Amino acid sequence: MRIDRRTLLKSALAGVTGYFAAPLETLAGATVTSQGLPTLSTARNVIFLLMRGAPSQVDTFDLKVGSWTPEDFSPTTVGAMDFPEGLLPNLTQQLDKISVVRSMQSTALVHPLLQQWTQIARSPTSATGTIAPNIGSIVALETESGRRSDQPLPGFVSLNTGGRIAKQGYFGGIYAPFDAVADADGLEGLSNPVGEGLFSARYDMLQLLDARNRQPSRYGDALEEMHDFYSSARRMMYEPEVQAAFEFTASDSERYGDTDVGNSCIVARNILAGDLGTHYIQINSSGWDHHQDIYLDGAGIYERCAELDPALSNLLSDLASMPGTAGQTLLDETLIIAKGEFGRTVGDLTSQSGRDHYFVHFTMFAGGGTVGGRVIGKTTPDGRFVEDPGWSGNRPATAEDVAATIYSALGIDHTTVLNDDPLGRGFRYTPDTPWESTPIVELFE
């Protein structure tokens, strides 16, 4: 099955129409409807690694060996997977835990648009795209009712994003990503010099004085949203387990590669091991935009893979060895996804010794009930087209399908509609146009 021009134009047009601005409103009293679809319900948590800039699929998870392939890539085949062992040696040893969807297709080739699209599972320029929350914010909303009183962290944590992350959309501040930097010394501001007793007294007094001004207020929901931010921050203060989750040793950091991505993977592991109330963690890995010198020694794809390889492989092995909450391992309970916004051109390199933007790409899955060592979908021998989608959707998979897979794995009906959106049209978790979003169930069978 190849990508035909009609399909391509249809998806592209869906991404550039319907734009208009909309105010943000706080989620409250939503009427929820859904189709009542059965869900996979195989995972409790998600770690989403966004590979910004779009990695070259034909050099990594959909390896195509040709005259362009550097000798030190050392291509190998493990089970059903062709893989560059020389480029990703540690992940090569973890392929029994990894599954790859090679039949992914993006809907545009613009970095900011598609990075946002990947995080909100719809076109940012569509009507609901202007108000849409991050997938993590929806997960935070869905899991909030199950929060225990001893769980101080927000439901959605983002690491190494530098603020470049899709926010909570029209949802309230309580569902916003808690954006933090992974630092060996942990988080700052978890205590106050005046001491916990005096600080708590002052904070309680502030809440008493502010309560009458928050609702109703001529400022709308802004004050209540600010209150949500303050209460979330207050919940984390003077909690030693929070500080412990964000701290790590020099030896741990070195094992994970001593990079921002590696350190973020350590913190993600610690947060989930502590069962602190977070069920969705997004990590940013940037620098994959290799228009030039992709095979430059010590730079290009070598540098990015040298960062990714120890970080992701040690995350997989550590989670696989750590107990979860119901007799399983943390990896059994945690769905890990790694993907870029689109792919890169195939075959010979460009005149700049690089690869430009391209529609066909991959998504990697591990844990959370997925079956390792599996390849879903097939591209043509040159990687230019999707030859066989390899899944029940019988078409190239999209970011919307990845989101539907995440929701279903967590026991969330992806057809859920919230009827409290500021547009008054109902906000569905995954859109049903131009085609119905569908979980990739073959990853779990």
What's the whole-number mean pLDDT along residues 230-249?
A: 82
At 216, the pLDDT band (50, 70, 90 cuts) reads: low
User: Residue 173's closest CA among 160, 158, 156, 189?
Assistant: 156
pLDDT band per the 50, 70, 90 thresholds, residue 223: low
DSSP 8-state symbol, 302: H
In the three-class reduction of DSSP (H, G, I as helix; E, B as strand; rest coil), residue 428 is classed as strand
Cβ count within 10 A of residue 249: 10
Beta strands in 249-324 (DSSP E): 280-285
Give DSSP secondary structure letters for 401-426: HHHHHHHHHTT--TT-EETT-TTSS-
Average pLDDT, the chain: 89
pLDDT level of residue 9 (50, 70, 90 thresholds): very low
Left (φ > 0), alpha (ψ -120 to 50) or beta: where does 438 sit? beta
Structural tokens at position 19: 């734009």
- pLDDT recorded at residue 6: 38
The residues near 258 (Cβ < 8 Å, ≥ 6 apart) are none
pTM of the model: 0.90
* Residue 441 DSSP class: G
10 Å CB burial of residue 69 (0-12, 13-18, 19+) is middle
Residue showing tokens 């090679």: 102
DSSP 8-state class, residue 96: G
Tell me the average pLDDT across 159-169: 93
State yes or no: pLDDT of 28 exceeds 60. no
Q: What is the token pair recorded at 284?
A: 């940013």
Q: Give the max Cα distance, the chain.
A: 71
**Which pLDDT band holds residue 19 (cuts at 50, 70, 90)?**
very low
- Per DSSP bridges, beta strands 45-51 and 334-339 are parallel
